[in-house]
Copies of this chain bind each other. A is one copy, B any other.
Amino acid sequence: MKKSKDYIGEFEELVLLAIVGVGQGAYGVSIHEAIEDASNRSISTGALYTTLSRLEDKGLVRSWEGEPTSERGGRVKRYYKVEAAGKKLLMEAEASRRKLRGLKSATI
């Protein structure tokens, strides 16, 4: 876990939000699906796993392996959970935008 900067990138934020949103049982495929649904853009799985691993390096998410299921091809899943540090950054990102939107001339 590397020391993290004090903010997160655009895609990193989507990934964190997706993990929180999916909740229990968030893993690669379900996270991927949540992001594609919400953003209407297609995300390569490579992009997702790379980002997940960077987020973990920075201590913003934690992951662990589950049990293999008995579905066909039911390979072991890696589950993800957002750490407190990750939630804090999510809130800060939102707060910054809210402040800017709150300026007198903001109309968006």
Interface residues of A (CB under 8 A from B): 6-10, 13-14, 17-18, 20-24, 34-35, 37-41, 87, 90-91, 93, 96-97, 99-108
Contact = CB atoms under 8 A, between A and B. Distances in A.
A105 B41 contact: no
A93 B10 contact: yes
The prevalent SS among residues of A at the interface is helix
Contact of A100 (B7, B18, B91, B97): B18
Given A10-B93, A35-B100, A17 B105 contact: no
A83 B108 CA distance: 12
A67 B23 CA distance: 54
A8 to B, nearest CB: 7
